[in-house]
Amino acid sequence: MEQLSTMNLDELKKKINQGKYILFFSAGWCPDCSFIKPAMPEIEAEYPEYKFLAVDRDENIDLAADLAIFGIPSFVAFKDGEEIGRFVNKDRKTKEQVEEFINSLD
């Protein structure tokens, strides 16, 4: 999974303007983020049509605020630069819940 560098919303929109992306917001200190991280490579492999981007919420606090990410871990899906879905809350997420979210996108 590519680690997103620190950027603002305009820079993000340019980066993701073509194709399907899922942004995975997390932070190193977050126990619920650590819970889902081991499942992420498998989730990525199941959905090759999406490019997954890891976003450190603390390094991208302004971007997180612009995207209304008020809990982590959270997932936001984009297609050609437009948001198509979000799984955003402060609850622990299971692999099955993340898969259910991705399956609901199309």
Give catalytic residues, as residue numbers. 30, 33
Size of the chain in residues? 106
Q: Please choose, from the candidates 5, 6, 9, 31, the residue with its C-alpha nearest in 3D space to the C-alpha of residue 76.
A: 9
CB burial of 62-90 (b: ≥16 within 10 Å; e: otherwise) equals: ebbeebebeebbbbbbbbeeeeebbbbee
